[in-house]
Amino acid sequence: MTIRISKIKGLHVDIIIEEFEDRDAAGHLNAYFAAIYKQAKNSTCKTQVGRSRIPDAAAQIRSEIKNGGLQAFRRLAGV
């Protein structure tokens, strides 16, 4: 069981991606879940903006923000 937390920093809000992944002894994927949150810079409260059970969905979101820049970040953050 692996839990990864990634934080993509923005000017006013941060995007937090939490991934849960469980594999068996042979390395086959049993379960995957990714939750995407936005968090204001001056707050500890997180608001969920998306979730996915498709494996490696968080990697696609990271690459979309990297390639799309501020526009992709705004669409996810709802700013």
pLDDT tens-digit map of 27-36: 898 999 988 8
Structural domains in the chain (count): 1
What would the pLDDT profile of 19-67 be if each residue is shown by its tens digit? Answer: 999 999 998 989 999 888 889 988 889 988 888 888 877 787 778 777 7
pTM: 0.75
Strand order of the β-sheet with 13-23 is 2-9, 13-23, 29-40, 46-52
Which residue range forms the structural domain that includes residue 46?
2-77
* pLDDT of 76: 61
